[in-house]
Chains A and B, each alone.
Chain A
Amino acid sequence: MQRLAEPQTAAPVGAMVPRVFRLADRRHDTVDTFTMMLEPTDGPPLEFVPGQFTMLSAFGVGEVPISVSGAANVAGPLHHTVRDVGAVTHALARTSVGELVGVRGPYGTGWDVADGVGGDVVLVAGGIGLAPLRPAVLEILHHRQRYGRVVLLYGTRSPEDLLFAEELKRWQNLGVEVLVTVDYGAPSWAGRVGLVTTLIARAGFDPRSALALVCGPEIMMRFTAAALLERGVRPDKVRVSLERNMRCGVGLCGHCQYRELFVCLDGPVLPFARVAGLLGTREL
């Protein structure tokens, strides 16, 4: 019997009050994507695990759920990589260095990267889905010797939309096999063109020992998970990160309810086996 959707915890009142962070720096990653480096004004740095998200607020405009994109194991500002697609993210994009933003969280589940220790790890990112995977990559690199082969497969729209392009080269030099593909490119683009799932058959990893972390649009994750399973990756070793309409972040409001799941609480990172039947269901 499926359990009913009920909040798993009673959130403390403070969970709804944002902490105040100052924008210490900002980097423009692509034409519509930027990374905010935030420093707390009211206490210690925010602790999180790779894969978690926060609710970022542009004061007077609103809140938006954004995955942390920085390293969990390094002291320094809190990184969020954001695409400017709506009212709140547009306000965040216009925030000047030195101005204040609100941060609630961190919330949700992480990638549990340590579950891959001793085996190979394959990370599959689509578009801005690379941002929530970046902390996982950095965590693995922090303990590189604990893992076998590490493969990052990254698909995006065009060469101009590549995130963290310089960092991808650095990761390659640090022992990560990085395969990149785009949907289309100008003749000057010497890289691959095609769907990211086509890289799975080429990548050098042992599916029997592999932990697979997948983040991107839901359709891409469905096709990617299918290709990973076909390659022989165990279903319980495939994890996906869902994006739903997270509002409260603590399982109270129900905006992100996904049948029996609250994505903000049970997710965003979930075993594919747990959501496989949901991803293809209409109007959920």
Chain B
Amino acid sequence: MRTIEQYLPDHPFFAGLDQEALAIVAGCATNVSFAPGEFLFREGQPADQFFVVRRGRVALQVHGPTAGTMVVDTADAGDVVGWSWLVPPYRWLFDARAVEPTGAVSFDGRCLRGKCDQDPHLGYELMKLVTQVMFSRLTAARVRLLDLYGNAGTTSALLSPLLMEARPADAGTTDAGATHATPG
């Protein structure tokens, strides 16, 4: 099995970091594994880590009073899990649960924050990587808010009032979306 230092350069998240930076980052990392059903972290707990998934699948889930527990995102091999270590008050907003036997590299957020504070160049480079992934995730989340695959008569609970206002009064009786799912 490759060491963390050998693994990180091949990971898409760390592409672009030079060897020196990778060595610093690797100094804050350990290998971890999780059995199916085991939690990487729970909502409300201190967020002092983030994870790079090497194999398996992690489900990000949240519990609501009406819908119960819902999985809102998953992370597979090559993905990164956890942003809350970067943002005060450093507490997890979701649960992260291993769906399959999962191997990951765990990074100590406090250790990384300290190194970034000492070395602003490293901090900036790392922040650019994090921002790229956050941007992709935010874009995907915004598109999913549109409830793309719902039919013309249904929308996500969040957008429902806005879209109902914008929709023509007879939209509920049209057949738009019968074959391609394009809401009216």
Contact = CB atoms under 8 A, between A and B. Distances in A.
Contact of A193 (B59, B69, B152): B59
A128 B178 CA distance: 8
B151 interface: yes
Interface in B55-85: 57, 59-61, 68-74, 76, 78
Given A32-B151, A86-B152, A192 B178 contact: no
Interface stretch (B20-28, B45-53, B116-124, B138-146): B138-146
Nearest to A69: B179
B180 A129 contact: yes
B76 A192 contact: yes
Interface residues of B, number: 40
Interface string A1-36: 000000000000000000000000000000010000
A235 interface: no
A74 interface: no
A66 B179 contact: yes
Interface stretch (A37-45, A140-148, A217-225): A217-225
A243 B182 contact: yes
Contacts of A82: 178-179
Q: Would you list the 6 A-B pairs with minimal beta carbon distance, nearest first?
A: A127-B149, A86-B175, A127-B181, A243-B180, A195-B140, A157-B149
Given A128-B181, A194-B144, 20 more contacts: A32-B151, A53-B179, A66-B178, A83-B151, A85-B176, A86-B172, A86-B176, A87-B175, A89-B175, A89-B178, A127-B181, A186-B68, A187-B61, A192-B57, A192-B74, A198-B140, A202-B76, A215-B180, A219-B146, A243-B179
Interface of B: 57, 59-61, 68-74, 76, 78, 97, 99-100, 136, 140, 143-144, 146-153, 172-183
